[in-house]
Amino acid sequence: MKTVDNYNFAGKKALVRVDFNVPLDKEYNITDDTRIRAAVPTIKKILADGGAVILMSHLGRPKTGPEEKYSLKHLVNRLSAEFGTTVKFAPDCIGDEAVALAQGLQPGDILLLENLRFYKEEEKGDPAFAEKLASFGDVYVNDAFGTAHREHASTAVVARYFPKDKVTGYVMQAELDNARRVLENAERPYTAIMGGAKISDKILIIEKLLDRVDNLIIGGGMSYTFVKADGGQIGSSLVENDKLDLASRLIAMAKDKGVQIMIPVDSVIADAFSNEANVDTCLSHHIPENWMGLDIGPTAREQYADVIRNSKTILWNGPMGVFEMSNFSVGTEFVADAVMEATSRGAYSLIGGGDSAAAVNQMGYTDKVSYVSTGGGALLEYMEGKTLPGVAAIERDDY
């Protein structure tokens, strides 16, 4: 492996792709800094060698250019405090100002570039955009495990401009080492728990996981696409209508493969997406019009906890409900409790994803599970046996 440990950064400018896609509240305070803390050792290694660091990341999923709530400037104070230096900020990730700031960097300096996704070229993997980013550094470091499943300009394409000087960081190495252990040696019963809101990304992964797991537990916003596909009435719950056929096929496929697929029998419902909304409980197949499922219900909780407690390997990505709101956090807490209990009895529990890590931290369980990964989708894709583009771009000489 080409890693930061085998590279001397003295006198070099390191272009470091990190995953600083952290949750922010309405006042733009960081509500969970797991991904920032994770990136610190790599940055410190570069600085200790006598290098300078140019940090680049995305934040959220901006659709049409710059937006205040997706600005990485909200992270500057946190980073400056962490490193005991004033972290410089380029308010545009490319262009004259960024060029001048990068050129002026001295050993020990840190520059943070504005959100790469303010340019559509980032997600398109545009080579000209990647080349502009590449011009800032002498060496490319990819430490963004959470985004390693994306073949974007900054996560993969940029590596082409550093044929000899490209390495992975400590986050990437630790994550891959840990995930590989589970991938190659999962004790049974093996249970995957999937939830959250990124349905179209994660539903595709289920098919591959069906070849590996004994139980597949579905919760969170993803549930209602399955409930609707199964003929249920889901009110105004989150749904991806173009994935209904796929959801039906997955239910049938699980039966064929002898995998127990679990969809929440009941849900906590609300008449608005708010903690102040009216709240009730009902069967997930009979959610009234204009009400939405925002958490798994009391029966589903018990059923899920039962299966989890009896598992020997647990892979969990995505909260069971809108855990950020106290009225809809019980399902996630229940599942977290069961994961913790199974772990204390010797199971290996791997929990991944920005929001999932935040949920586990919020409950104080981080040290009571086997490993908390900074990646959600990336972890799942790796666990289905895929080569991650962000890793391939570093490892392959011909990328």
Ligand X SMILES: Nc1ncnc2c1ncn2[C@@H]1O[C@H](COP(=O)(O)OP(=O)(O)O)[C@@H](O)[C@H]1O
Ligand Y SMILES: O=C(OP(=O)(O)O)[C@H](O)COP(=O)(O)O
Footprint of ligand X on this chain (CB under 6 A)?
195-198, 220-221, 238, 293-294, 317-319, 321-322, 324, 353-356, 376
Which of 86, 74, 65 minimizes the C-alpha distance to 23? Answer: 74
| Contact flag: residue 354 with ligand Y (CB under 6 A) | yes
CB of 377 to ligand Y, least distance (A): 4
For ligand X, which is the closer residue by CB, 169 or 353?
353
Q: H-helix or E-strand containing 247? A: helix 244-257
377 labelled catalytic: yes
Residue whose pair of structure tokens reads 């249970």 in the numeric block: 191
| Contact flag: residue 389 with ligand Y (CB under 6 A) | no
Among the options 17, 35, 45, 228, which is catalytic?
35
> According to the annotation, is 59 in a ligand binding site?
yes
331 labelled catalytic: no
For ligand X, which is the closer residue by CB, 175 or 355?
355
CA distance 315 to 326: 24
Q: Which does 169 bind (CB under 5 to 8 A by kind): ligand Y, ligand X, none?
A: none
35 labelled catalytic: yes
| Contact flag: residue 353 with ligand Y (CB under 6 A) | yes
146 labelled catalytic: no
Angle at 202 between CA 198 and CA 203, to 5 degrees: 110
CA distance 144 to 147: 5
Among the options 198, 228, 243, 301, which is catalytic?
198
| Contact flag: residue 150 with ligand Y (CB under 6 A) | yes
Structure tokens at 165: 């000087």
Among the options 195, 376, 377, 390, which is catalytic?
377
* 3-state helix vs strand vs coil in the chain, percent to 5: 45, 20, 40
> According to the annotation, is 73 in a ligand binding site?
no
What single string gives the DSSP state of each residue in 108-165? T-EEEE--GGGSHHHHHT-HHHHHHHHTT-SEEEE--GGGTT---TTTTGGGGG-SSS
> According to the annotation, is 309 in a ligand binding site?
no
CB of 358 to ligand Y, least distance (A): 10
Q: Which residues are annotated as a binding site for ATP?
A: 202, 293, 324, 353-356
